[in-house]
Chains A and B, each alone.
Chain A
């Protein structure tokens, strides 16, 4: 009887603890809180009749920009871009608005426009934020040496977490993983408790570094740390879902991707979910997601936007296996950016089209950049094998395996 009482008491306590946990678990996330605050401020700014028109316009422009930055939604980005452009045309110049516009242009792959906007800034050579963006543009254009020297010079002038993280990312591209990781750790050390989203973001990068080298457990640990630092962020969940998919924890991955899509219905994630269903051997489930993703990509292109050219190239190459269409979009992308990823996409599109000699030439350009990426190496291996360069193909395949022993696992096209 006494034992029963003790057991009952323990059950009661356990239930209570679980109830407390559940209540605490249902709290709003950090992401929700931040987004709600921004959206409430947007509403207030729209109704603000007291501020001078230039201040009101600048304020609303920034709020829309913040919203776009947080949600990653192309709709929000378009909205912010239009408002910022109108504000800059109507009122006097503001450095922050120019930087915001340059950032948005970069996000939309409008590199030339981004550069033009930055060139409007007075004393550009002294503006570390603008110089960091210039270096980001150089990265996208494939001018890696220029990007590297700019990042390093900028870091000497302003040791901020974002400047350190930029250099870490560049190191990671070229396979200098130890230094990339060390720099990310340094970046984290610069981040205060007031910037937990930034900390989460750097944890995400560290996790992705591990993921890209097949270390899923380590990646997962970083992703969970990111979630802990800043809860409810769709970006963290997207990477987490990718890792779950790679680990073949398919149901969890599907569920998380669906959750991300509810909050941030972006075509890249729709494609990722479709890709995951293909991996799961469920092409019938994949089709709807792929169709939706493609429709959004094409709609964007019809609007004159260029940000999904790269996605279209890989979509046609890998999902539809339509080489000619893939070449079309890869060519458009390459017209804007000449980085290793754009060259790799073109090489892979040409491969899909059976134009192996041209594919080989393009793959060599991508490899010549020195980028150390498992999928780039895998594509190059396939291309070399296709043209009969078996030794080179095998070597490249071996290198891909060294970079990431799990290079053939599920991954998201980014």
Chain B
């Protein structure tokens, strides 16, 4: 009779869940775009190298031998900087495309977004991207598989932590660096979490407690009067900036009705402008790839869509590599004796043995719109179109009134609400009227330097940025976001700018994606601290040459 097995199971199952409480120093707050399954912001989840941080992609300034695309996928430096986890596999997907002019809108209605999503869907479902697949062996070497490129596929095993030029069978040289670097992301992530009242950044919240993530308190760029859970507390200056405490007892809500102002009438910014990733490293896969290796028609295919994925080896995949009885097969030993063990047998690069964990394409999409949900990790995020409308309206009710309070114009119709509101929507059709302008307005660039060939290229509408979840690298631009993503782009503030009125929001004049990073704006606003929300540059200078990301700390 096995009645006791279930009890044993309960005790057993819970074993794995508490590592972070035991080893708190090994469990930093989450960063970037973690999916919840590996989000170490939760008290019961350990950091993982599967946690992708960023995907950068831009046309290389080096035109020697023709146009080249730089792609860099960064992720948590676990087990260590420059040391890779042999249970993980990474993919960088590349899909070359002609530039298409944005289709005219019929009604600025939901049907426009859905029609756009359908068009994207038919495009993405019929085309297979080319792929660069990277796996690791126990000697910390990387196997780089180039799959589905016009010139065919091939593989190369390379040493990590140094630049290697991989020559493709067609003679194209591909600069490759796989190793540890300084984290190129510079951002006040705690500020963002404060703005959305995200409890796991401040309090010990396990993954299973879903309702205690974004608490039902209005999102805002300036503090709410009496928001005891998230307002800056001078007696606990590091709360949410590395320190956490148990969730206080009492209601997890806010019952005030105005923004906080100090005795001098200043609002308090939820952002500090500090770089939460200063002095921190990542592991990275960086490539500089000739465009003619990616497409046979480089003159036509001016857009390279790129996204990264992390995959974790399944236990059932790993067990195939474990020798029986702790020993090795006779065949293996015979080969070892003769020195003929195939080098690639040390790598497990069959994706069927893995499970996808994380996807990175559009910066901040995961944190802001996908809510880091595991099942929203996809490049083809067409099915999420309606969710994005609802979510953007939810964010608009929070950020919109706080933007207005600062004297800027917002694209979100909050009906002159004097304070941020916590509102959610069940139906996209209900949310759309409020969010319509934000979704359909074209974003403005600060100047024309991005359009280096002065071509007739229009910046995208907001909803076109979010769908699909890929970096669309425009080879005729500098590749600055949203025409790709350059290392120096302050994407966090650029994301926030989609809530500005791009037509007349800045003193009757157009705003642009750099408006919020303008120090003069904050100098003149009734707010403390007087800083742009996010740092203006990275903590370490980027390199002028490959691999571009700075040396690790």
Contacts and interface: CB of A to CB of B under 8 A. Distances in A.
Nearest to B322: A228
B524 interface: no
B126 interface: no
Nearest to A376: B1
Nearest to A77: B11
Contacts of A69: 11-12, 14-15
Interface stretch (B253-261, B296-304, B325-333, B361-369): B325-333
Contacts of B17: 96, 99, 129
Given A92-B246, A96-B206, A127-B209, A66 B22 contact: yes
Contacts of B337: 13, 16-17
B315 A166 contact: no
B67 interface: no
Interface string A63-104: 101101110100000000000000000001111100110011
A195 interface: yes
A196 B324 contact: no
Nearest to A136: B10
A413 interface: yes
Interface string B6-36: 1111111111111001111000000000000
Instruction: Output the residue of B10, B22, B314, B328 with the most chain A CB within 10 A.
Output: B10
B206 A208 contact: no
A201 interface: yes
A127 B209 CA distance: 5
Contacts of A404: none
Nearest to A268: B4
Contact of B9 (A169, A190, A339): A169
A344 interface: yes
Interface in A198-253: 198-199, 201, 205, 208, 212, 225, 228-229, 231, 235
B3 A339 contact: yes
Contacts of A376: 1
A123 interface: yes
B206 to A, nearest CB: 6
Interface residues of A, number: 81
B389 to A, nearest CB: 25
Contact of A17 (B43, B209, B333): B333
A225 to B, nearest CB: 7
A341 interface: yes
Contacts of A133: 10
B44 interface: yes
A376 B2 CA distance: 11
B211 A24 contact: no
A196 B318 contact: yes
Contacts of B326: 24-25, 27, 231
B5 A208 contact: yes
A34 to B, nearest CB: 9
A381 interface: no
Interface string B192-214: 00000000000010101111100
Interface residues of B, number: 53
A109 B7 contact: yes
B87 A193 contact: yes
B199 to A, nearest CB: 12
A128 B103 CA distance: 45
Contact of A228 (B3, B206, B324): B324
Contact of B312 (A65, A96, A192, A201): A192
A95 B164 CA distance: 49
A62 B21 contact: yes
A375 interface: yes
A189 B314 contact: yes
Contacts of A205: 5
A344 B2 CA distance: 12
B19 to A, nearest CB: 9
B11 A103 contact: yes
A235 B15 CA distance: 15
Contact of B319 (A59, A65, A104, A199): A199
A72 B319 contact: no
Contacts of A92: 246
B83 interface: no
A128 B325 CA distance: 37
B355 A192 contact: yes
A228 B6 CA distance: 23
A17 B313 CA distance: 30
Contacts of A59: 21-22, 24
Contact of B13 (A72, A162, A228): A162
B316 interface: yes
B18 to A, nearest CB: 5
A228 B327 contact: no
B317 interface: yes
A55 interface: yes
B212 A123 contact: yes
Nearest to B326: A25
A96 B286 CA distance: 40
Instruction: Output the residue of B2, B17, B43, B330 with the most chain A CB within 10 A.
Output: B2
Contacts of A104: 11
Contacts of B333: 17, 20-21
Contacts of A5: none
Interface string A161-194: 0100110010000000000000000001111111
B319 A169 contact: no
A69 B312 CA distance: 26
A129 B211 contact: no
Interface string B327-354: 1101001000100000000000000000
12 contacts: A25-B326, A106-B7, A107-B10, A123-B212, A126-B211, A129-B17, A133-B10, A189-B316, A193-B314, A193-B318, A201-B12, A345-B1
Interface of B: 1-18, 21-24, 43-44, 48, 87, 204, 206, 208-212, 246, 312-319, 322-328, 330, 333, 337, 355
Q: 7 closest Cβ contacts across the A-B interface?
A: A199-B315, A341-B3, A193-B318, A193-B313, A193-B87, A162-B13, A21-B327
Given A41-B23, A192-B355, A195-B315, 19 more contacts: A13-B337, A25-B325, A62-B18, A72-B8, A72-B11, A94-B246, A96-B21, A126-B211, A128-B208, A132-B10, A140-B6, A162-B9, A166-B6, A169-B6, A188-B316, A192-B314, A196-B318, A199-B316, A413-B1
